[in-house]
Amino acid sequence: MAAAATPPVWHQTITKRLRDRDAREVHAFHNLFSSYAEVRQNAATLRNQLAVLRIDHAQALELAASAKAFGSPDAARRLTELEGQVRELKDERSDLYKTQGQNAQKLLELMESVQKSDINMAHLQEENAKLTSTLGTVSIKLRDVEELIREKDHVIEILRDELATHQLELVQREEQLAQREKRVTSLEEENRTLIERWIVLKQEQAARMNEANEYVEQYGRRLLTLRLPLRISCQLQCPQVEGHLACPQSTTIVI
């Protein structure tokens, strides 16, 4: 059998406060209820004593009438004693009436206090009903909030998983970017090396070309010096093709 769910702390706190309040209010009126019960008991006792005194008074009156009728000394003494007892009983009755009046006043005060207590109790019961209703509303809202928190926790867990996935993907992209940057750096270095080699090659080619041109110029000047008549004859007799003289002897001279 599954164990009952433990109420939340706030629920236990409110319940404890309500119990303490009920205990405090009941204790405050406990003496009042006890006094009211005591007054009712005293009033019943006084009524019983008053009835007994009335009976004794009636008997005393009968004895007094008998003593007057017979005129006996013992009866006269007994009458005197009875009259004294009657006076004492009258005094005691007066005291009892006085006490009864005081008790009646106390009873009225107690009744007023009881009415006020009933009114206060009604207000307390109404407040308790409101608090109970509020407690039910708060409990429903608390359940809704707990359900919302569970949903938010689920969403947060999903977002955390997605964040971890994106972070892993970001790390992979950063590694790929680092590799590409390294490749680009390597290609740039290789490109600079090739350009430098190409420049050196072109410089070498230009140097060789300059040497060749210089050699050709020197050779041409030498030919001009050695074969000037032949060159003039070739210019007259040989056609010029693309800057060269095509001589019949298949000799090409660069102009």
pLDDT tens digit string along 55-110? 777 776 776 666 665 556 666 676 677 777 777 877 877 887 787 778 778 778 87
Q: Which residue has the tokens 């007892």?
A: 85
Q: What is the pLDDT of residue 172?
A: 92
First to last CA, the chain: 119
Assign 169 a pLDDT band (cuts: 50, 70, 90).
Answer: very high
Q: Which of 34-38, 164-168, 213-217, 251-255 has the lowest mean pLDDT?
A: 251-255
pLDDT tens digit string along 226-250? 765 554 554 545 555 444 444 544 4
Sheet holding 240-241, edge to edge: 240-241, 244-246, 252-254
What distance in Å separates the CA atoms of residue 121 and residue 28, rounded to the nearest whole number? Answer: 12
Q: What is the mean pLDDT of residues 194-212?
A: 90
pTM greater than 0.75: no
Q: Higher model confidence: residue 5 or residue 173?
A: 173
Q: Taking 80 as the threshold, does the pLDDT of residue 200 lie above it?
A: yes
DSSP conformation letters of 111-137: HHHHHHHHHHHHHHHHHHHHHHHHHHH
Both tokens assigned to 239: 């056609």
Assign 36 a pLDDT band (cuts: 50, 70, 90).
Answer: low
Q: Which residue has the tokens 């409101």?
A: 130
- Measured in degrees and rounded to the nearest 5, phi and psi for residue 241 equal -120, 115
Express as a percent the part of the chain with pLDDT over 90.
23
What number of other Cβ atoms are within 10 A of residue 24's Cβ?
A: 9
Looking at mean pLDDT, say which of 28-42, 119-133, 191-205, 216-230 comes out highest.
Answer: 191-205
DSSP 8-state secondary structure symbol assigned to residue 29? T
Q: Which of 58-67, 117-126, 172-181 has the lowest mean pLDDT?
A: 58-67
Helix (H) / strand (E) containing 22:
helix 9-28
Both tokens assigned to 207: 């140097």
